[in-house]
């Protein structure tokens, strides 16, 4: 068995430039199956819920673990911007990391296999996506032209073939699809078995529903926009944390000339969450999104906003001005967005290399 494991052990890409962020309330036994792919990397575990509970991590992994007490200690009053009893707490890990890249995964996401039966190294594919340019300004019908065996098709403007830097790599899921509660209820047995061997750049001006359970991004390019909002305990909404981050991030990427890719890699999503519990969390969001999405579609960021932080603070101002009429929650969320940026800048005052969480 040891020889078999050694034979599939990949050469780790960006080993010292990438952190893996995992939110959890349970022991991380799932890491055993990921060991051949993830063990060389540093983990940031964000423990949600009861901070006195001990989280078990398999031997051999290099990690640091933060619970709610740690979040309160490090951020002080600004800890109010970090959600409690919700996987949105993962964004604290983004803040304390000092690496250039982040890969985040949920603890019910297992290693998937491609149609040939080969185990998929999801992190390796995310890295490939992030290190190749995106093409948001003109759609290439042969998908990602930078993948092996593909190129720009006839009629693609040569002036646009350099592409733009890729800020986000959004992966997909086999088995349990990422459905909302109403869809879960009407399709309780539906499973995704289709493996589509493709990576796409999401065009400029197009929003998408970002899922946070198989996601990587360039923290230097877009990190401050990856705020997962106020969700969970004490909030009127849940399960929109990654959606909110995705909408904000896409608008800012479009403004700053950055790219977002979706498609490969796949993970195996092992467990369907309870649709009735999900409906309780989502039901306001299902109504609100009909106003939130037009808000983002029509949002214009002034050209004077040349950094992610300036763009994000501008979005926070627009949220307060235009979405507070939908519900007072958005007034609170806009304030939390500002607090998030203040906390981010406190922990990340320069680009100098610092130990995680020690700023």
Residues 121-151 as b or e (16 or more Cβ within 10 Å = b): bbbbbbbbbbebbbbbbbebeebbbbbeeee
pLDDT at 8: 55
pLDDT at 2: 38
Indicate if the alpha-carbon torsion angle 10, 16, 21, 26 is positive or negative.
positive
pLDDT tens per residue across span 45-73: 999 999 999 999 999 999 999 999 999 99
pLDDT at 9: 56
- Which residues in the chain come in under a pLDDT of 70? 1-11, 351-359
* Nearest of 279, 271, 184, 169 to residue 222 by alpha carbon: 169
Instruction: For residue 77, give the DSSP letter.
Output: G
pLDDT at 350: 72
CATH class of the 18-347 domain in this structure: alpha beta
Interstrand relation of 259-269 and 109-110 (parallel, antiparallel or unpaired)? antiparallel
pLDDT at 112: 98
Domain boundary assignment for the chain:
18-347
Instruction: For residue 192, give the DSSP letter.
Output: B
pLDDT at 5: 47
The residues, any chain, with a CB within 8 Å of residue 28's CB and separated by 6 or more, are 22, 45, 55, 56, 57, 58, 107
Neighbours of 178 (CB within 10 A): 17
pLDDT at 4: 43
pLDDT tens per residue across span 232-281: 999 999 999 999 999 999 999 999 999 999 999 999 999 989 999 999 99
* Distance separating alpha carbons of residues 344 and 102, to the nearest angstrom: 15
Long-range contacts of the stretch 68-71 (C-beta < 8 A, 24+):
70/357
């Amino acid at each position: 068995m040891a020889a078999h494991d050694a034979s599939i052990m990949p050469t780790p890409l960006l080993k010292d430039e990438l952190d893996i962020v995992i939110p959890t309330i349970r022991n991380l036994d799932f890491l055993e199956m990921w060991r051949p792919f993830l063990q060389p990397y540093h983990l940031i575990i964000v423990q949600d819920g009861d901070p006195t509970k001990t989280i078990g991590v398999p031997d051999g992994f290099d990690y640091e673990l933060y619970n709610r007490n740690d979040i309160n200690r490090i951020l002080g009053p600004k800890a109010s911007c970090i959600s409690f009893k919700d996987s949105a707490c993962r964004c604290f890990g983004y803040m304390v990391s000092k690496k250039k890249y982040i890969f985040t995964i949920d603890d019910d996401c297992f290693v998937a296999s491609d149609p040939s039966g080969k185990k998929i190294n999801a992190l390796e594919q995310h890295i490939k996506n992030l290190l190749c340019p995106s093409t948001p300004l003109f759609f290439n019908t042969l998908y990602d032209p930078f993948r092996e065996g593909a190129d720009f098709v006839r009629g693609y403007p040569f002036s646009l073939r350099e592409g733009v830097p890729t800020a986000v790599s959004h992966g997909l899921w086999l088995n349990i699809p990422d459905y909302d509660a109403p869809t879960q209820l009407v399709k309780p047995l539906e499973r995704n078995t289709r493996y589509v061997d493709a990576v796409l750049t999401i065009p400029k001006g197009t929003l998408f529903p970002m899922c946070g359970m198989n996601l990587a991004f360039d923290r230097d390019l877009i990190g401050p926009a990856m705020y997962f909002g106020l969700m969970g305990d004490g909030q009127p909404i849940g399960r929109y944390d990654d959606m909110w981050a995705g909408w904000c991030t896409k608008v800012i990427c479009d403004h700053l000339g950055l790219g977002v890719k979706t498609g490969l890699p796949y993970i195996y999503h092992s467990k369907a969450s309870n649709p009735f519990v999900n409906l309780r969390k989502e039901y306001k969001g299902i109504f609100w999104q009909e106003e939130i999405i037009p808000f983002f579609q029509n949002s214009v960021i002034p050209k004077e906003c040349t950094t992610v932080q300036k763009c994000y603070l501008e979005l926070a101002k627009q949220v307060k001005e235009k979405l507070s009429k939908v519900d007072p929650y958005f007034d609170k969320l806009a304030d939390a967005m500002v607090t998030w940026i203040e906390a981010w800048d406190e922990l990340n005052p320069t680009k100098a290399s610092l130990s995680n969480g020690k700023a």
